[in-house]
Structure 1
């Protein structure tokens, strides 16, 4: 409020100074000057020219002063209204700037989060950098590949052992069959010999 009063006082002073400067430049004719159609400085000049002189003083009509006061108050009210409107616009712009700053901060935060998500990968709910994610995935792939090679080796080795076991089994079966044949032949031979001995004993 103090600033507004100071501004109004400065405005009135400027109006009076402007009036004096304009009054010195104008000639003594009253053409174009009035209390209704002229600006404030023109109204002051009009009153001065229409006033009577008495020694170093000017005698001004009361109704002219009242009219000038009314016009001056209207001008000051208009200036005050412009100031209020300007202050309102300034406040609105300050609020808008504050909102824009808030939006900018939120947008910047979202952008940073988006960059972090773009530069990272989620594994089991854990955010990891792309480099760490790639190292981990290639490590897992390497381990799985090594296990696959180990499985293939074990499988081939197991097949080789199985084949050797089958070969050994076949050889054993063949030896067993040969032994069985030999034993059968020996048994048959012994039976024939026994039968021959029995036959000999009967003849005797």
Structure 2
């Protein structure tokens, strides 16, 4: 009786483990997932046979055509993303140029205020030295705050530009990697197909 209980317990645990393992594995499909997973789907769903001691894989033509279209779509999406990143970079560069111009204007304004700081006339009105100094330092502090704001925005724009360039480089690397793998697999399949054609011709 104990042996039967242990057998049932082991069977239940094994069934649970198999069920859990199946749930955790991602479902392969040509309709979704990465290009690598779609290639995995092609390989798993390919037929195979042995001839002359060699193993051959047979891939459905419609699956291969679907995979090729998916690769083309991925390439087009990568090109679109690259164009968007280039546009973002151009926008950041324009912002940086504008900020540089504003920074130069602010520096000139600060120099102009410094040159006129000894004057007791403010907008054509004579004011006391204390009031004049208060107004002057208020303007200088405001300009310094603007300068700090422009520097922050400049650095932020530069960071975003570098990040966009890094994302573009990563995207280009991933695209080249996918393209190389797809080309290698397509060449391998073409060679296998040519070998089959040659065998068929020889058998005639």
Tell me the TM-score range normalised by the shorter chain.
0.3 to 0.5
TM-score (normalised: structure 2): 0.42
Q: Which has the larger radius of gyration?
A: 1
Choose between structure 1 and 2 for higher RCO, CA contacts under 8 A separated by at least 6 residues.
2
TM-score (normalised: structure 1): 0.42
